[in-house]
Amino acid sequence: MKKILILILAAFVAATGALAQGNPAENAALAGGFVRIGEFQSISRNNVGASSFLFPREDKLVTGLHSSVSSEEFLGGLQAVNSMYNQIGYNLVSYGWKGSGPGFHTIELGAKVNYGLSIPKEIFHILKNGTAQSPYDLSALRAFGNVYGEIAYGYAVPLGDNFSLGGRVKLLVGLNSVNLFARQFNLTTTEDRYEFDLHAFLDITNGSKKIGTDEAGCLDYTSFSGKGKLGAPTGGGLALDLGFVWRPFDGFSLSASLQDLGGIIWYYGNAGLSSGTYSFEGLKGLTTDELSQEKIMERLKATGEEVLGVIKPRAVDGRFKFRSIPLTASAAASYAMPFWKNLSLDASGLYTGYSWCAPYWEARCGLSLDFPGAFHIGANAGTGAYGFVYGVKGSLEFLSFRLYAGYENGIGGVIPYEGTPLKANNKTILVGLTYLIK
């Protein structure tokens, strides 16, 4: 019932013209200006869900590490690299106006937060079956998070009656970044110990306080120096959006865009390096009884503390590093029905490339109903990297205000009363408000 209500609400609330992160060429068709008073977008893309780790047994749920769950059942539902990615974008304000020439100008101010985690399947294989098949390559293990602001200028221009081009240049202001990754992370085992062959980096910007060091020159997370600088720039960069819209005949349009081509040069004032061979006892003493009684989390916590103790990063000089932001390519087509121009058949495709996990793609078809000056509503369905997807979008116009929203998801259900997706999922939520200058 909750999901039905969400879909209905979303259906009654995409705006005419480009969204803050849409195809910039779409603005070329606007006759008047606009002020966008905020736009919120949340994107979640995970190639595994809770059902990959939780299994029903009699009247309860157990983890895949439970003795009643076979290795084939547990490990067969995991990916080679299990990744989680989340992005939150907020367009604080946008202003668009028609210039003295044929073009349309936009200025936008916004902020983005993205974070994620990638865990190789080998880690779960070790937890489930032990380390008989060592050595293991764990170099796909990674955790990251970034916060940055965007100041953008866009320009769109019609070229003749049927074709439009648009571009957007973004100044990226890095606010904070954390990045943990390994160029080499091999695990081998002896009869009573684990051994890591490790070459890993820990990069943290000094937008907050400076992390201190201990007597051995390693980063000491209990010691800080200096004043907090949260919000002060710690990086800078540029990104570019490009797009076109082609209307070869009345009622049909074809468009494509490339968004976020670029990245940020960060200054990581808190930098660490772990390089060498390390050994620890870890889970060698883990018993079957502990697994069956679901005490594994206690052992994992203790093991994690032990690992951090032996591979403690050595502090190194601050360094500059370039990090690309997720690059998205999209295409769309729309055909207005000859018997009723308000009804359109739509098709769209999207591809997003990441530097830290597998790319995401999807293809959709749908229908939309448009009554200019009143409301717009659309629904779509298709397939993507994680399976079946669907979505609804719409806008409602009153006086000079337009409220718009969209909701996209994959089918698979969530954990009751908690909301965690049960299966691999892509979820996007979009809400915004625009004041039209007519």
Residue pLDDT, tens place only, 320-367: 999 999 999 999 999 999 999 999 999 999 999 887 777 899 999 999
| CB-CB contact of 240 with 169 (8 Å) | yes
Find the length of the chain.
Answer: 438
Q: How far apart are CA 261 and CA 239, in angstroms?
A: 5
DSSP string, 301-345: HHHHHHHHHHSPPEEE--EEEEEEPPEEEEEEEEEEETTEEEEEE
Nearest residue to 206 (alpha-carbon basis) of 217, 219, 187: 219
Q: Is residue 10 part of a domain?
A: no
pLDDT at 9 over 50: no
pLDDT of residue 282: 56
pLDDT at 291 over 70: no
Contacts of residue 163, defined as CB under 8 A and 6 or more positions apart, other chains included, come to: 244, 245, 246, 247
The token duo for 143 is: 């955790």
Q: Is residue 376 part of a domain?
A: no
* H or E segment and range at residue 369: strand 360-371
Of residues 122 and 95, the one with the higher pLDDT is: 95
Q: Is residue 338 part of a domain?
A: yes
**Residue pLDDT, tens place only, 221-233:** 666 666 555 557 8
Q: Is residue 280 part of a domain?
A: yes
The total number of structural domains that make up the chain: 1
The DSSP bridge partners found for residue 110 are 91, 150
The token duo for 431 is: 């809400």
Q: How far apart are CA 268 and CA 174, in angstroms?
A: 11
Q: Is residue 122 part of a domain?
A: yes
pLDDT at 159 over 50: yes
pLDDT bracket for residue 46 (50, 70, 90):
confident
pLDDT of residue 370: 94
pTM of the entire structure? 0.83
Pairing of strands 194-204, 163-189: antiparallel
Mean pLDDT for 308-312 is 66
Mean pLDDT for 49-59 is 80
Question: Which residues constitute the domain of residue 216?
Answer: 24-34+52-87+97-365
Q: Is residue 276 part of a domain?
A: yes
Rounded to 5 degrees, what angle do the CA atoms 429, 87, 274 make? 160
Nearest residue to 239 (alpha-carbon basis) of 144, 177, 327, 322: 327
Cis upstream peptide for 135 (omega within 30°) = yes
77: left (phi over 0), alpha (psi -120 to 50) or beta: alpha
Q: How far apart are CA 189 and CA 193, in angstroms?
A: 6
Share of the chain above pLDDT 90, in %: 40
Q: Is residue 16 part of a domain?
A: no
Q: Is residue 431 part of a domain?
A: no
pLDDT of residue 15: 36
**Residue pLDDT, tens place only, 20-30:** 568 999 998 88
